Chain A
Amino acid sequence: MGTTSFDEMNGHDGDCRQAYAELQAWLEETPKELLEQRRVEAEALFRRIGITFAVYGAENAEERLIPFDLVPRVLTAGEWKRLFDGLVQRVQAINALIVDLYGDAEILKAGLIPEEMIYANPAFRPEMVGIDIPQAVPVVIAGIDIVRTGPDEFFVLEDNARTPSGVSYMLDNREVSHLLFPDLIARHRIRPVESYADELLAVLESLAPRNARDKPTIAVLTPGSFNSAFYEHSFLADKLGVELVEGRDLFVRDDELFMRTTEGPKRVDVLYRRVDDDFLDPLTFRPDSMLGVPGLFSCYRSGSLTLANAVGTGIADDKAIYSYMPDIVRFYTGEDPILGNVPTWRCREPAALSHVLENLADLVVKEVHGSGGYGMLVGPAASKKERATFAAKLKADPDNFIAQPTLALSTCPTFVDGGIAPRHVDLRPFVLTGADGTRIVPGGLTRVALREGSLVVNSSQGGGTKDTWVLED
């Protein structure tokens, strides 16, 4: 991992890389005023679509747009091939891990992961122990966050096996690109992402319970319109051609789930749920939850209902478990991991903790259960005081933290106030697994840190998004 960032257009040395040749020429020949005009048009389009994002803790809590950056990110066929193989391998290992942890727990017997890291972890749900997971696919939809530090250096930064969001941006960004830059698109051979909804539908149908009718009934469960990702929930239901439901639209009768429709109750076979485990069923999980459906978990247990994703998959999102992922991949696939991890210090280990405390200025420290860029320290960007405060938190509860080196994340050309400038990016491809294997639409959500020098790409922390082009061979 170099100290200067790799730019995906200009490499390390400033020579335009071949995949970006057309784009660079286009950027040079297009007046900045036209780009600015397109940016305004893009914003208007997004407002019309209604794609917004509620930011928790922001002072004006109203929904706002996640900025869309006009300049697409380009990945070659070769780069994608390696990402694809690595992602398939990793997600298959994650699925095997979760099936194993709620089954025979062979990986713990083999001593690969300390038992207490699993059993003391609130993301591990004892209610899942011994339950038959449909087709042994607990993680139907995964979002794997990838960072890049060089031409061939791709690393997994985070696994999101719970309810990963962002796929609506992947699809909307492409649509907006088509509307705004038909000429630029015509100069490239870009693999389509539009089949995502069809792929997702096929995967969900493949996991329907055996006693479902020929055409299984699928629904998307949302916590409601106040949820930060509500737009995406309604977007996905619409694209899938299935009902968007809230807990109150559903009820359980004799261990089967039904939704109320104008034609009477209709049995639901597969629920793509975007409600967290804790809130799914007040009879089994948090008793005060109004978002779920009483008795829903009994349906799952009895096999009349498939949940995507299953309960308890969040154990794979844990950043301390992440640090074991290379071993996990080897254990379940018998192969070396194609995609590496970012080196990670587990602060629960005393030697690691003292190293982290001594080098806080150079490291990124994260909470093991955290997400969305909340509760993390970016050492180099933090003040001395912030580091001292964080060090105290770290010492008080070391088990709760991991640390990683500050990566020189790759940059992509980005349209900012003064014109085109490099900004740091990451990539979240969406990995779908059904009864017949794993598939990935070529592309994903590229997030970009719009502030100069910033490494935090999370939309809750001022990040934007880019259209991501995977080129044909």
Chain B
Amino acid sequence: MHLILRHETSYAYDAPARSVIQLLRLTPRPHEGQHIRRWRIEVDRDATLRPHEDCFGNLVHAFGAEGSFQTLTIAVEGEVQTEDTNGVLRGTIERLPLGLYLRQTDLTTPDEAICAFAMEVTKAKTTLDGLHALTVAIHERLRFDTQATDATTTAQRAFAEGHGVCQDFAHIFIAAARSLKIPARYVGGYMRHADGTEDYEAGHGWAEAHVPDLGWVAFDPANAACANDAYLRVACGLDYLDASPVRGVRTGGLGETLDVRISMREAGAQQ
């Protein structure tokens, strides 16, 4: 699929911001199912974007801006060619040993309920079948609700309350997989809905788990499916925090409002 993406993150402040420093994980890296044709990030302030690669293989841009400003916009624009590999990833940049992806974090640490759920759902199944079953079971068990949780919600809480957004679904999947000693990680990016929707309010989050003989495989419990060519993979990490598109701190800038606009369309499709 030839995807064209535009993602604008705009901040507006009641009182001017005096300085801001951010880390952006907004640049996809190529793998066998994902070819980057064109990609650029722009910040509407006088600032240099300094790139580096983090330990998860993500391309990170750091920038800082000083002065006095009422708004700040980070705009991302690009074109990517994707292929459906049934979720199987090849050619990703791997810097860390697999064992590290067994480590739970504050957001993923499972409680007994998640561990029992993971055992029950995967009982007498191969690793791959178990992970598929887990993907479906989480989808069935949780209600999608964009109001119920936020970026700091833990897997335990979302699971107990039975609702959340894609990020919560992914954290529960990761918590469960790791509790079964299957390496797993969080992935942030974008997903184009099958109905051809072009405008989105948020990016997407899913999970990858490591399956013997196959390698990393992408599972999306929010959609009860493996990732395919409608997915654009941007960053990964132990949890959402490691892969979040923007992490920043500012001084001044009281009364911040955030506006995110994402448009994603297929090249050649009707506009």
Cβ-neighbour of B103 out of A120, A129, A294 (below 8 A): A120
Chain B nearest Cβ from A380, distance in angstroms:
35
A residues near B21, Cβ cutoff 8 Å: 252, 283, 294-295
Whether A298 pairs with B99 at a CB distance below 8 angstroms is no
Q: Is B48 engaged at the interface, CB distance under 8 Å to the other chain?
A: yes
Whether A129 pairs with B64 at a CB distance below 8 angstroms is no
Whether B52 pairs with A119 at a CB distance below 8 angstroms is no
Q: Is B100 engaged at the interface, CB distance under 8 Å to the other chain?
A: yes
Q: Is B41 engaged at the interface, CB distance under 8 Å to the other chain?
A: no
Chain A nearest Cβ from B98, distance in angstroms:
8
Chain B nearest Cβ from A399, distance in angstroms:
13
Known: A283-B248, A294-B21. A255 touches B50 (CB 8 A): yes
Whether B64 pairs with A287 at a CB distance below 8 angstroms is no
Whether A129 pairs with B99 at a CB distance below 8 angstroms is no
Interface positions, chain B 80-130, Cβ under 8 Å from A, are 95-97, 99-100, 102-103
Chain B nearest Cβ from A326, distance in angstroms:
24
Whether B96 pairs with A129 at a CB distance below 8 angstroms is yes
CA distance A130 to B94 in the complex (A): 12
Whether A126 pairs with B102 at a CB distance below 8 angstroms is no
Q: Is A301 engaged at the interface, CB distance under 8 Å to the other chain?
A: yes
Q: Is B75 engaged at the interface, CB distance under 8 Å to the other chain?
A: no
Q: Is A397 engaged at the interface, CB distance under 8 Å to the other chain?
A: no
CA distance A298 to B100 in the complex (A): 22
Q: Is A6 engaged at the interface, CB distance under 8 Å to the other chain?
A: no
CA distance A230 to B50 in the complex (A): 36
Cβ-neighbour of B100 out of A126, A287, A302 (below 8 A): A126
Known: A105-B97, A120-B99, A122-B103. A298 touches B55 (CB 8 A): no
Whether B100 pairs with A119 at a CB distance below 8 angstroms is yes
CA distance A302 to B52 in the complex (A): 9
CA distance A130 to B66 in the complex (A): 31
CA distance A253 to B47 in the complex (A): 10
CA distance A447 to B257 in the complex (A): 54
Interface string of B13-24 (1 = CB under 8 A from A): 000000101110
Known: A255-B62, A295-B21. A115 touches B103 (CB 8 A): no
Whether B54 pairs with A127 at a CB distance below 8 angstroms is yes
Whether A283 pairs with B19 at a CB distance below 8 angstroms is no
Whether B95 pairs with A283 at a CB distance below 8 angstroms is no
Known: A119-B100, A120-B103. A130 touches B241 (CB 8 A): no
Whether A119 pairs with B102 at a CB distance below 8 angstroms is yes
Complex: chain A residue closest to B102, CB-CB: A120
Chain B nearest Cβ from A351, distance in angstroms:
22
Q: Is A62 engaged at the interface, CB distance under 8 Å to the other chain?
A: no
Whether B62 pairs with A298 at a CB distance below 8 angstroms is yes
Q: Is B249 engaged at the interface, CB distance under 8 Å to the other chain?
A: yes
Chain B nearest Cβ from A84, distance in angstroms:
36
Interface string of B124-162 (1 = CB under 8 A from A): 000000000000000000000000000000000000000
Known: A126-B55, A130-B95, A298-B62. A251 touches B19 (CB 8 A): yes
Q: Is B247 engaged at the interface, CB distance under 8 Å to the other chain?
A: yes
Complex: chain A residue closest to B151, CB-CB: A287
Complex: chain A residue closest to B56, CB-CB: A126
CA distance A116 to B183 in the complex (A): 12
Interface positions, chain A 91-129, Cβ under 8 Å from B, are 105, 108, 115-116, 118-120, 122, 124, 126-129
CA distance A252 to B249 in the complex (A): 11
Which one of A118, A119, A130, A251 has the greatest number of beta carbons of chain B within 10 Å? A119
CA distance A105 to B95 in the complex (A): 12
Known: A122-B103, A127-B54. A287 touches B247 (CB 8 A): yes
B residues near A128, Cβ cutoff 8 Å: 55
A residues near B22, Cβ cutoff 8 Å: 283
Q: Is A282 engaged at the interface, CB distance under 8 Å to the other chain?
A: yes
Chain B nearest Cβ from A220, distance in angstroms:
22
Q: Is A214 engaged at the interface, CB distance under 8 Å to the other chain?
A: no
Complex: chain B residue closest to A128, CB-CB: B55
B residues near A119, Cβ cutoff 8 Å: 97, 99-100, 102-103
Whether B55 pairs with A283 at a CB distance below 8 angstroms is no
Known: A120-B99, A294-B21. A283 touches B64 (CB 8 A): no
Whether B62 pairs with A295 at a CB distance below 8 angstroms is yes
Complex: chain B residue closest to A129, CB-CB: B55
Chain A nearest Cβ from B92, distance in angstroms:
16
Complex: chain B residue closest to A116, CB-CB: B99
Interface string of A254-296 (1 = CB under 8 A from B): 1100000000000000000000000000111001000000110
A residues near B64, Cβ cutoff 8 Å: 252-254, 295
B residues near A120, Cβ cutoff 8 Å: 99, 102-103
Complex: chain B residue closest to A121, CB-CB: B103
Chain B nearest Cβ from A228, distance in angstroms:
24
Complex: chain B residue closest to A127, CB-CB: B55
Chain B nearest Cβ from A302, distance in angstroms:
8
Chain B nearest Cβ from A308, distance in angstroms:
22
Known: A116-B102, A119-B99, A253-B64. A301 touches B249 (CB 8 A): no
Chain A nearest Cβ from B177, distance in angstroms:
14
Complex: chain B residue closest to A295, CB-CB: B21
CA distance A72 to B39 in the complex (A): 69
Cβ-neighbour of A283 out of B23, B52, B100 (below 8 A): B23
CA distance A115 to B52 in the complex (A): 27
Chain A nearest Cβ from B4, distance in angstroms:
30
Interface positions, chain A 29-80, Cβ under 8 Å from B, are none
CA distance A118 to B98 in the complex (A): 12
B residues near A284, Cβ cutoff 8 Å: 23
A residues near B54, Cβ cutoff 8 Å: 127
Q: Which residues of B contact A (CB under 8 A)?
A: 19, 21-23, 48, 50, 52, 54-56, 62, 64, 66, 95-97, 99-100, 102-103, 238, 241, 247-249
20 contacts between A and B (CB under 8 A): A115-B99, A116-B102, A118-B99, A119-B99, A119-B100, A119-B103, A120-B102, A120-B103, A126-B238, A127-B54, A253-B66, A254-B50, A282-B247, A283-B248, A283-B249, A294-B21, A295-B21, A295-B62, A298-B23, A298-B50
If A283-B247, A298-B50 are given as contacts, then 5 extra A-B residue pairs at C-beta distance below 8 Å, sorted by A number, are A122-B103, A129-B95, A251-B19, A253-B66, A294-B248
Q: Which residues of A contact B (CB under 8 A)?
A: 105, 108, 115-116, 118-120, 122, 124, 126-130, 251-255, 282-284, 287, 294-295, 298, 301-302
- The list of the 9 closest CB pairs from A to B, nearest first, reads A119-B99, A294-B249, A119-B100, A129-B55, A126-B55, A115-B99, A295-B21, A294-B21, A283-B23
